[in-house]
Amino acid sequence: YRETLEGLGFVVNPYDQCVANATINGSTCTICWYVDDNKISHIDPDVVTNIIEKIEKKFGKMKVSRGRGHDFLGMKIHFHDNGTVSIDMKEYVKGAIDEFPEKISRSASTPATRHLFEVRDGVKELDKENAEIFHSTVAKLLYICKRCRLDIQNAVAFLTTRVSKPDEDDWKKLRRVLQYLKGTIDDKLILGCKNIGKMESFVDAAFAVHKDMKSHTGGGISWGIGILLSMCQKQKLNAKSSTEAEVIGVSDFISNMIWARMFLEKQGYTIDENLLYQDNQSAMKIEENGSKSCSKRSRHIDMRYFFIKDRLETEGIDVVYCPTEFMVADFFTKPLQGKLFHYLKGIIMGHEPLETLTSRFNTTNQERVVEHGKAISNNVIPCAESGSQDSNKRGRQNAEGKRVKFQMDTEEAKMSYADAVRGQV
């Protein structure tokens, strides 16, 4: 098939072997394919007809659908007049719910409770029949969350680690996801582009949230509406601090940013503004300065993670501070609840444009204050070296009402705002 397209003048994108382009009548014609399903686009419908006829001469008659709405591998894809595309898998989700042996009669407000990552000892394992049902259902949800329902990706990422020996707790967690899907069955993923030359990436890590004390990486890339190339995965090695976990997270995710840039360049687009948002300023300094910004608490970080510094320079990536409450990637690191879950879900699913979030924080000079033992917005940054008696003493002094300003270039400025919120100051 590839040879046929190349014979028609198409050039395959080297960064995705199932995408080919050709310039016809001064405009780009793009063909994408998956097994025997194809998508072709060109500004002139007559060009599309001509290409289809040439392909059919080689491979026989094909079933062709035209217009703005298409059914593809369980997805209903609709292209809208405003330049966005919506992806709906309502029928596929309904099938997964109906095939579950228990009747899903109620709905849930979130896909998982706060205890998603907890694994208790002594819980009874599922019998062979239910274990197979568990495995099959999780596989369906994995397909759904990768193509449409990013809002269940965190829960599904955990459940995929439990398919070998699922227990009764895992069954309850699976049922919770299905209950959530039942209540939100009409939700769609909406994707759009405000500026093809501006790529905005968010990366975060939840420190030591798994039973084996490994951290969890979350990330996503957006061009203005909805999240593409999301990541939600358990880290493969243990980190000694939240800063190290964040550096590992960027190391895991930056390859997606590099690939996206190279793929778009071969499609004829140039990335003029490449932004990486993070909420841990210590990690940001290590990524930008390498070993020069390592302290006695971070010298042990494996040298292979300092390739980030080189990639930031060669790729022209700007690292930007993003307050924790606006960190989109936080959605993929832990089971959020309440208003924060629904707020970030709206951004991730494309129901709200990304600019409604990024316009709410100052990316050039963001500072914090610690007052009465809590972190609140003001022009000072709360930082201390966690785990020491001195830092705990300073925290108690702050709780008494003393306002303390910490300079970001000191050794004590090695703890993120996220850690402060969690009560470590």
The interaxial angle of helices 307-315 and 242-266, nearest 10 deg, is 30
For 254, counting Cβ atoms within 10 Å of its Cβ (0-12 exposed, 13-18 middle, 19+ buried), the class is buried
| pLDDT reported for residue 10 | 95
| pLDDT reported for residue 74 | 87
Per-residue pLDDT of the chain (425 residues), as tens digits, is 899 999 999 999 999 999 999 999 999 999 999 988 899 999 999 999 999 999 999 999 999 999 899 998 889 999 999 999 999 999 999 999 999 999 998 999 999 999 999 999 999 999 999 999 999 999 999 999 999 999 999 999 999 999 999 999 999 999 999 999 999 999 999 999 999 999 999 999 999 999 899 999 999 999 999 999 999 999 988 888 888 889 889 988 999 999 999 999 999 999 999 999 998 887 888 777 655 555 545 455 655 566 787 888 888 899 888 888 889 999 999 999 999 999 999 999 999 998 888 666 654 334 333 333 333 333 333 333 333 334 343 343 443 333 333 333 333 333 333 443 343 33
What are the phi and psi torsion angles at 302 (to 5°)? Answer: -55, 135
What are the phi and psi torsion angles at 23 (to 5°)? Answer: -90, 115
For residue 40, give the nearest of 64, 59, 56, 9 by alpha carbon.
Answer: 64
pLDDT digits (tens, 9 = 90+) for 315-345: 889 988 888 888 999 999 999 999 999 999 9
| pLDDT reported for residue 313 | 82
The answer to whether 88 and 79 are in contact (CB under 8 A) is no
| pLDDT reported for residue 289 | 67
What are the phi and psi torsion angles at 183 (to 5°)? Answer: -80, -15
Residue 92 and residue 88: Cα distance in Å, rounded? 9
Q: What are the residues whose beta carbons fall under 8 Å from the beta carbon of 151, sequence distance 6 or more?
A: 111, 184, 187, 345, 348, 349
Q: How many beta carbons lie within 10 A of that of residue 236, not counting itself? A: 9
> Which residues face 139 on adjacent strands?
none
Q: What are the residues whose beta carbons fall under 8 Å from the beta carbon of 355, sequence distance 6 or more?
A: 194, 224
For 15, counting Cβ atoms within 10 Å of its Cβ (0-12 exposed, 13-18 middle, 19+ buried), the class is middle
Helices (H) and strands (E) in the chain, counts: 13, 16
| pLDDT reported for residue 414 | 36
Q: How far, in Å, are 246, 320, 346, 361, 395 from residue 324 at the CA level? A: 13, 12, 17, 11, 20
Task: Record the pTM.
Answer: 0.79
pLDDT digits (tens, 9 = 90+) for 394-412: 343 443 333 333 333 333 3
